Structure 1
Amino acid sequence: MDILTKTVSEKFNSNVITDIVNKKSKFTNPIVKNISFGAPTTKGESYLSLVTRFSIEICEAGSDKETETIPIIVKSFPSNLARKETFRSVDFFENEILFYNKVWPCLDAFQKSKNVKNPLDIVPEYVHKFIYFAFKYFSHFRCLSAFTDEKNDFIALTDLCYSKYGGLPRNTSLNFEQTIEIIRTFRKFHAISLALNDQKPDEFQKIISTLQETYFDEKFRSWYTPVMNKLLLVLRSYLCQN
C-alpha cells in the first residue's frame, strides 16, 4: 500500500483502504488479498488532478475460496505545483468534496422523504449500450473517501469502467440520445434542489453556503478573459478553414 501513499497522497494510507473495504465488502471480516493498478490517464486529460485507477481484491479472513473486487478511481493534486496553482485545483477539490459529503446527502435525503417515484439514484439499463460514454450519476459515482487540507487532498470514487462504462474519447461528440439523457438527469437534479429551496429554504441556504463559485465570479474575470479570447481566435481560425 506504500505505492498508493506515494502515488496518490500522503494521507491515502492503509487506514483509508481498510475503511473503504469495510464499507463496501459483503464479507464479515474482509482482508485485502491484492491491489491491481489500471491503465494510466491519457496524456492531456484531467488537467485539474492526477487520476489513479486500481482495484482491491478482498476475501474473508481465514478463507480465500471466494473473493470480490472493489474498483476505485482516485483524484489527487497534480504533482506539478505550477499546474496545481494555475488551474486552482484546491478550489475545485474543496467544492467537489463538499458536494459529495454535505450537499448531495442532504438532497438525496430530501427526495427520499418525498417518496419520489423515479429518484435520482439509478442508471437505466438501456444506457449500458453507451460503452464509451461516462455516464456519471451522482449516487453511482459514489464518493468512497475524501480528504482535504489543501496539500494532500484526494477523492476516491467507484470506478464505473468495471460496469462497462468508459471515458468518451475527446474527439467524439455526444449523439442526440446521449445529450437528451444528460439533460433529463440534470433536470431531476435541479428539480430536487428547487423543491428543497421552496419547502426548506433554511436548509437549502445552509448547504449552498458551503460551496464557492469556481468559474463565474468577478474575481476570476482577469484570469478567464485572456483564456476566452485565445479560444475565440482558435474557433475563428477553425471556422475559416472549414
Structure 2
Amino acid sequence: MEQFKQIQDLVSPKFTWEVFETVLKKQSNSDKVKLINITLGSETSKGDSYLSTVTRFSVDYTGENNGDSKPFKLHVFGKSLLRNVARRNTYRNSDFFANEIVFYEEIWPKLDAFQKEFNALKTIQLYDEIPNYLCGEFDGSNDYMLLEDLSYQGYQSASRSDALTFERAKLVLKVLSKYHALGYAFKELHPESFQETASKLRETYFHDDFRGWYAKFQHNLSIITLDAVEKELPEVYGNRLKEIFARDYYGEAVALCAPSAKTNFKTIAHGDTWMPNLLIRFDEKKQPVHSVLIDFQLARYATVAQDLLFFTYACIDEDLRANHREDLIKYYCQEFSAFFAQFVPENPNVLTYDAMAKEMKANGMFAFNMTMEAIIMSLLDDHEVPDLDEMQGEEAVPLEIALSIVTLLKTKEKRLKVANIFKHMMDLNYV
C-alpha cells in the first residue's frame, strides 16, 4: 500500500484506498481486487494547467469473481487543487473544480441515461466522446477528480497556440454538435428534469460577483488589444474598440451567460472550447479520426452559439475563417439537426444556418470577452508565462498582478492575429 500512499499524497487525502478500491471493482466488474503495481506518469508543463495540479499514473491489478482472477490495467489522469495555496485562492480554484465535478456527477449521468433509455427502445447513435469519470470530491480544500487517461488510446492535446485544419475542425464540430444536440433533445422532451439538472451548474467566469476579481486584469488585456488594433488596422476599427472599452462590456457577457438570458438554442454549453480542451486521435497514417471534449469547468446553461463562436475564433486561423467559416457552421448545423432528429424525428431541421448566424451575432460580445483573453494568452512565449508557484503565503494575489502581462505584443505577426480577429468580429457586426 506504500505505492497507493504515494499517489494519495499527490492527489488528495480524500482519495482513500476504499474509494479507489470501489473504482477498480467497477472498472473490472469484479467482486474483489488486488493491487499489483502503480506507475507514475509524466507531469504537465509550465503554463498548460493554471487551474489544477495534474497527476498521471497507471495501475496494474487483478480482479476476482467466484475464484476466477484476471489481470487488468487502468490508466488514470488526476486533477487536484493547486498545491500553492496563494495561487489556488488567486484563481478561485475550488469554484472551477466544484462546477466540473457537478458536471461529471450530476449533469453527464442524466444526459447519458436519457440517450440510453432511447437506445433501449430503438438503436440510435450514442454520444460517448467524453472521458470516463472515475471518482472525485470537492470540499474547498481537498478537491480532486480522476478520469481515464485517454492518451493511452492515442488521443493528443493541442497546445494553446495551435490551429485546426479544415478536416480537424469538422471532426471537432461533429463531436461538439452531438454533445449540444443531446442536451437540447433532453430539454425538449423532459423540460422540467432538464431545468432541475442544469440549475446545479454555477457560473464560474462571467458573473457580477467576479467583477472585482477580473476587471483590472481585463483592463490590461484591453491595453494590449487596442495597441494591436491601432497599429495594424484603419482608424475606424480603433474608434469602435474604444467605444466598446468605454462601455460595460464585461457586463454584456454577464447578461449573455446568465441562466435567464433570452437567447435561443440553450443547452448545457461546454463553455471553454479552445485548443487545450480538444483531444484528437490519429490513425497510423497520421489522419485525424476521432475527437473528445475535456475540461468542463466553465460548463453553463447557455446558447450553443457561445461554444461555436469561441471555437471559431480560438481554434481556427484567419485563412480558414475567411475561406471556410460558413461551410463549418453549416456542417455543425447539419450534424446537430441529424443527431437531434434521432430523439425528435418530427423536427429534422431544428437548427438552420440562418438561425445560427443570427444567434452568433446576438452573442458577439461573449465571443469578444472570451477570445481577447485566450488569444493574447496563446501568444505568450514561454519566458512570458508567469511562474505562478512563486506566490507566497495563502492570501489571494490580484489577478492582474498574478498574470502581469502588460507588455505590448512585440511583433507585427502577433499584433495582426489579435487585430484581425477584432476586424472579423466588427465586419460581421458581432461587436
TM-score between both structures, scaled by the size of structure 2: 0.49
C-alpha displacement of 1:239:
8.0
- Aligned: 1:80 with 2:84: yes
Letter in 1 for 2:94: V
8 Å CA contact 1:34–1:58 kept in 2: the answer is yes
Find 1:193's aligned residue among 183, 202, 226: 183
Higher relative contact order (CA 8 A, sep 6+): 2
Structure 1 residues 230 and 193 mapped into 2: Cα distance closer, same or farther (>3 Å)?
same
Find 2:101's aligned residue among 94, 97, 111: 97
Higher mean alpha-carbon deviation, 212-221 vs 112-121, is at 112-121
Find 1:151's aligned residue among 133, 141, 147: 141
Q: Which residue of 2 aligns with 1:68?
A: 72
- CA deviations 1:159-184 (Å, max 9, x no partner) are 00111122223342222222222222
C-alpha separation in 2, matches of 1:26 and 1:210: 30
C-alpha separation in 1, matches of 2:140 and 2:22: 22
Matching of residues 125-204 of structure 1 within 5 Å: 137-138=129-130, 141-204=131-194
Match of 2:74, SS?
Answer: strand
Letter in 2 for 1:238: L
Higher mean alpha-carbon deviation, 222-231 vs 70-79, is at 222-231
- Aligned: 1:14 with 2:13: no
Find 1:4's aligned residue among 2, 7, 10: 7
C-alpha displacement of 1:112:
2.1
8 Å CA contact 2:25–2:63 kept in 1: the answer is no
8 Å CA contact 2:25–2:33 kept in 1: the answer is yes
C-alpha separation in 1, matches of 2:148 and 2:14: 19
Q: Which residue of 2 aligns with 1:238?
A: 409
Structure 1 residues 239 and 109 mapped into 2: Cα distance closer, same or farther (>3 Å)?
farther
- Aligned-pair Cα RMSD in Å: 2.3
C-alpha displacement of 1:23:
1.0
C-alpha displacement of 1:193:
1.6
Find 2:58's aligned residue among 33, 37, 55: 55
Structure 1 residues 240 and 45 mapped into 2: Cα distance closer, same or farther (>3 Å)?
closer
Q: Which residue of 1 aligns with 2:26?
A: 23
C-alpha separation in 2, matches of 1:60 and 1:82: 42
Q: Which residue of 1 aligns with 2:238?
A: none
C-alpha separation in 1, matches of 2:410 and 2:190: 48
Match of 1:40, SS?
Answer: coil
Match of 1:117, SS?
Answer: coil
- From the two aligned structures, give the one with the greater helix fraction: 2
- CA deviations 1:88-123 (Å, max 9, x no partner) are 1111111111111111111111122233622211xx
Structure 1 residues 192 and 80 mapped into 2: Cα distance closer, same or farther (>3 Å)?
same
C-alpha displacement of 1:157:
0.2
- CA deviations 1:164-207 (Å, max 9, x no partner) are 12222334222222222222222112212222222211101111
C-alpha separation in 2, matches of 1:96 and 1:15: 23
Can you give the 5+ residue segments of structure 2 that lack an aligned partner in the other structure? 229-407, 414-431
8 Å CA contact 2:36–2:61 kept in 1: the answer is yes
Higher mean alpha-carbon deviation, 67-76 vs 47-56, is at 67-76
Find 2:124's aligned residue among 110, 117, 124: 117
- CA deviations 1:121-147 (Å, max 9, x no partner) are 1xxxxxxxxxxxxxxx22xx0110111
C-alpha separation in 2, matches of 1:56 and 1:240: 47
Structure 1 residues 199 and 40 mapped into 2: Cα distance closer, same or farther (>3 Å)?
same
C-alpha separation in 2, matches of 1:83 and 1:162: 30
C-alpha displacement of 1:240:
6.0
Q: Which residue of 2 aligns with 1:33?
A: 36
Structure 1 residues 239 and 232 mapped into 2: Cα distance closer, same or farther (>3 Å)?
farther
TM-score between both structures, scaled by the size of structure 1: 0.84
Letter in 1 for 2:92: R
Which of 1 and 2 has greater Rg?
2
Match of 2:47, SS?
Answer: coil
Letter in 1 for 2:114: F
C-alpha separation in 2, matches of 1:209 and 1:26: 33
Higher mean alpha-carbon deviation, 40-49 vs 112-121, is at 112-121
8 Å CA contact 1:4–1:13 kept in 2: the answer is no
Letter in 1 for 2:32: N
Can you give the 5+ residue segments of structure 1 that lack an aligned partner in the other structure? 122-136
